[in-house]
Copies of this chain bind each other. A is one copy, B any other.
Amino acid sequence: MELTEQLREELAQEIAEGQRALYQLSEFSAADAAAVRRRAMEKFSQARGTDLVLDATGHYSFDAEKAATQHCENFAGVAQVPQGYVGPLRVRGEAVGDELLFVPLATTEGALLASVNRGARAITKSGGALVMVEDVGMTRAPAFKTSGIEQTKELLAWLDANQDRVRKEAEGTSRFLRLEEIIPRTLGTTVLLRFRFTSGDAMGMNMATIACDRVVNNLIQPETGVQCIALSGNFCTDKKASSVNWQLGRGKRVIAEVVLPQEVLSNTLKTRADKLVEVQLRKNLHGSIAAGSMGFNAQFANALAALFLSTGQDLAHVVEGAMGLTHFEERPDGAVYASVYMPDLPVAAVGGGTGLATQREALELLGVVVDPDRPGIAARRMAEIAGATVLAGELSLMSAFTSSDLARAHERLGRAQKPTAG
């Protein structure tokens, strides 16, 4: 249906006054409906005495129809975040091989890119970051309620006896999905079944949920009579810091490392090996222990959030990715061994936000492009790049802590005074 200016005003007025719901615009194109919604918000604000103009919000360059149907109901426009690049960053790993890369980061936080860029320079000068990635896979854990020990035993026995059928049912929902393991956990009458899948180049949460739904509704409930209380029972654990993920991993489990010679420490990072070891002990070990934190690092979250935003990863997964341990170790001749350990990094090369316009451009720049002949390799590449990028961030930030005039120097830069402090 065509949207005239008059019609737009009328519809917007109705929404602003609560006579029409935001989603009741299905007869219009996504772009037109978005325009109506923005106009409705302006009118709504005017009624409260605010002179709101939603100008920037309407300024997008992705496909509105796709955005409205696949990503964002009640679609109205865009959130824009500045994006820049760091690099060249040399990365070595099974998927990436050995490449120089420029890494896109989107953030509102001044000093972040400058800091990661310095770390990238240090890594590249030292021969690159070596990254090891384990494809733990995506997990989903439905919660069941039994009548007690006897029924719990029956349920677990059924599961043992029907592994092949369960696998077939689960894997039948997607040709990229593979059921790796089911870990049961029983607390009283609550039984949690943690399904672990690998899912090729997708992050896999959606595929895992659908597969679990099939297994639960087509097999477990009808054949055992045990009721599923929630398809996700939080033993997954999705987007919450958790010890089960810390222990067993989720998504990709990543270690990235580099040995920095003394001259790189001195010239690029303005620091020394012994100072880095000292900050590591007091801050990342003692401090995090005092805090009862699952993050024994200076600041994984900032670099990850910026990379996740630019490349269309699920932003809420930064919650899991922020867990991990940084490590520094003095080596002969004043060199330092540095590494980051990230047990829970869910990333994708396809699906979710990876198909949006700016995100797709960022992924192409990184070479994170699905190769039909090597399913999963692009997601692994993404994880290797993420590991190297986080390592770059840690190197620079930790070095900054060893320089006592950090905050002051930052402050002199005027507004960009924010130390990206962990």
Distance in angstroms between the alpha carbons of A59 and B326 in the assembled complex: 37
What is the distance, in angstroms, from A299's C-beta to the closest C-beta of chain B? Answer: 6
Query: In the complex, are the beta carbons of B78 and A81 less than 8 A apart?
Result: yes
Known: A73-B111, A206-B417. A143 touches B239 (CB 8 A): no
Query: In the complex, are the beta carbons of A353 and B108 less than 8 A apart?
Result: yes
Task: Please count how many residues in chain A sit with their CB below 8 Å of the partner chain's CB atoms.
Answer: 176
Distance in angstroms between the alpha carbons of A298 and B74 in the assembled complex: 23
Distance in angstroms between the alpha carbons of A353 and B305 in the assembled complex: 14
Query: In the complex, are the beta carbons of A327 and B361 less than 8 A apart?
Result: no
Residue-wise, chain A 63-94 has the 8 Å CB interface mask toward B (1 for contact) of 00001111111111111111111111000000
Distance in angstroms between the alpha carbons of A148 and B255 in the assembled complex: 10
Q: Does A8 touch B at the CB level, under 8 Å?
A: no
**Which DSSP category, helix, strand, loop or mixed, fits chain A's interface?**
mixed
Q: Does A265 touch B at the CB level, under 8 Å?
A: no
What is the distance, in angstroms, from A141's C-beta to the closest C-beta of chain B? Answer: 7
Q: Does A260 touch B at the CB level, under 8 Å?
A: no
Stretch of A161-169, A375-383, A404-412 that contacts chain B: A404-412
What is the distance, in angstroms, from A73's C-beta to the closest C-beta of chain B? Answer: 4
Distance in angstroms between the alpha carbons of A341 and B152 in the assembled complex: 13
Q: Does A50 touch B at the CB level, under 8 Å?
A: yes
Known: A73-B84, A231-B407, A318-B318. A244 touches B187 (CB 8 A): no
Selected contact of A188 from candidates B206, B213, B294, B325, CB within 8 Å: B325
Contact residues in B for A171 (Cβ distance below 8 Å): none
Tell me the chain A residues, 175-208 only, with Cβ under 8 Å from chain B.
185-190, 192, 205-206
Tell me the chain A residues, 329-348 only, with Cβ under 8 Å from chain B.
329, 337, 339, 341
Query: In the complex, are the beta carbons of A192 and B287 less than 8 A apart?
Result: yes
Known: A364-B52, A418-B205, A419-B231. A187 touches B145 (CB 8 A): no
Distance in angstroms between the alpha carbons of A190 and B407 in the assembled complex: 21
Tell me the chain A residues, 386-422 only, with Cβ under 8 Å from chain B.
401, 404, 406-408, 411, 414-419, 421-422
Tell me the chain A residues, 282-331 only, with Cβ under 8 Å from chain B.
282-302, 304-305, 309-310, 312, 314-316, 318-319, 322-323, 325-327, 329
Contact residues in B for A132 (Cβ distance below 8 Å): 149, 152-153
Contact residues in B for A230 (Cβ distance below 8 Å): 279, 282-283, 287, 401
Q: Does A224 touch B at the CB level, under 8 Å?
A: no
Selected contact of A86 from candidates B74, B299, B339, CB within 8 Å: B74
Selected contact of A81 from candidates B69, B79, B291, CB within 8 Å: B79
Query: In the complex, are the beta carbons of A71 and B110 less than 8 A apart?
Result: yes
Query: In the complex, are the beta carbons of B77 and A83 less than 8 A apart?
Result: yes
Contact residues in B for A159 (Cβ distance below 8 Å): none
Q: Does A226 touch B at the CB level, under 8 Å?
A: no
What is the distance, in angstroms, from A105's C-beta to the closest C-beta of chain B? Answer: 8
Query: In the complex, are the beta carbons of A190 and B282 less than 8 A apart?
Result: yes
Query: In the complex, are the beta carbons of B234 and A288 less than 8 A apart?
Result: yes
Known: A22-B87, A109-B352, A190-B286. A358 touches B79 (CB 8 A): yes
Distance in angstroms between the alpha carbons of A314 and B287 in the assembled complex: 23
Known: A44-B365, A233-B286. 7 other contacts (CB 8 A): A69-B414, A70-B110, A190-B286, A192-B286, A234-B293, A241-B293, A247-B247
Which 10 A-B residue pairs are closest in the complex by CB-CB distance?
A108-B353, A240-B295, A243-B292, A188-B327, A234-B287, A241-B241, A56-B357, A213-B407, A79-B106, A243-B243
20 contacts between A and B (CB under 8 A): A22-B102, A73-B84, A76-B85, A78-B358, A79-B81, A81-B81, A130-B150, A143-B282, A188-B329, A189-B339, A217-B404, A229-B401, A231-B419, A232-B401, A233-B290, A240-B294, A243-B243, A247-B247, A309-B309, A319-B319
